[in-house]
Amino acid sequence: MIEIREAVKTFENGVTALSKINLHIEAGDFLYMTGESGAGKTTLLKLIHCDEFLTEGEILYNGAPILAQFPLHIWRRKVGFAYQDCMLMENRTVFENITLPIQIRGENFSKMNSRVKTVLHALQLQDKANKRVNELSGGEKQRVSMARALIGKPDILLLDEPLGNLDKDTAAIVFKYITAMNEEGTTIIMATHYVVRVDSRPLKMIKLRHGRLVEKEYV
């Protein structure tokens, strides 16, 4: 599905965030990406989402370069991204933030409204729909960011430390929903400091250190 070959990312300030990354992600995988802060996890997610672009190497989707197959806006319909820093419109409501991806598609309001209610309930945000984002806690903002990533039913879901600002009980509820999506076929790539075993299935896990892939295993 996604193949990363000899990926190098060097920023304009000369810092190399990723060096010679090789990775294959199958459709339906649940991939944990671990490593200390600054290891390159977020950069790799942004490269897959095409927020950033490689200095060297290539990222293929089903055997061909991503943007040779899809215009950028079409690719981002296929790939949901819940950013660690949320990237929300602070002066807009939760509903407005979450529905932005499907408003852009021109979907009708009734279909949009029904889907939003389902996602809000799943992430325990049903009483926050009409609140402005700047009135929310950090953990609530993180869940709104995740809801926005989920709303378009993406084929691939990129999660950047999605459980970091959540209390234990809320994290368990959110993780259960993520896991259910994976069981239905969504490919999950999750950058995290915390690896959670779901059931007896092997975990696919990689570890980055200083921009290099140092471990790759099933556990």
Domain boundaries, the chain: 2-218
- Give the model's pLDDT for residue 194: 67
Q: Name the CATH topology of 2-218.
A: Rossmann fold (3.40.50)
Query: Are 160 and 87 spatial neighbours (Cβ–Cβ below 8 Å)?
Result: no
The residues pairing with 17 across neighbouring beta strands, listed in sequence order, are none
Task: Write out the two tokens for 118.
Answer: 């389902």
Query: Are 125 and 140 spatial neighbours (Cβ–Cβ below 8 Å)?
Result: yes
- Give the model's pLDDT for residue 78: 92
| Regions of the chain short of the pLDDT cut 70 | 104-111, 194, 196-202, 218-219
Query: Are 160 and 40 spatial neighbours (Cβ–Cβ below 8 Å)?
Result: no
3-state SS class at 66:
helix
- Give the model's pLDDT for residue 201: 60
- Give the model's pLDDT for residue 33: 94
Residue position matching structure tokens 């089903």: 62
Query: Are 123 and 13 spatial neighbours (Cβ–Cβ below 8 Å)?
Result: no
Closest CA relative to residue 20, chosen from 60, 63, 57: 57
**Residues 43, 46, 52, 53, Cα dihedral to 10°:** 90
Task: Convert the pLDDT of each residue in 114-127 to its tens digit.
Answer: 888 888 988 989 99
- Give the model's pLDDT for residue 2: 97
Is the alpha carbon torsion for 55, 59, 65, 69 positive or negative?
A: negative
pTM: 0.90
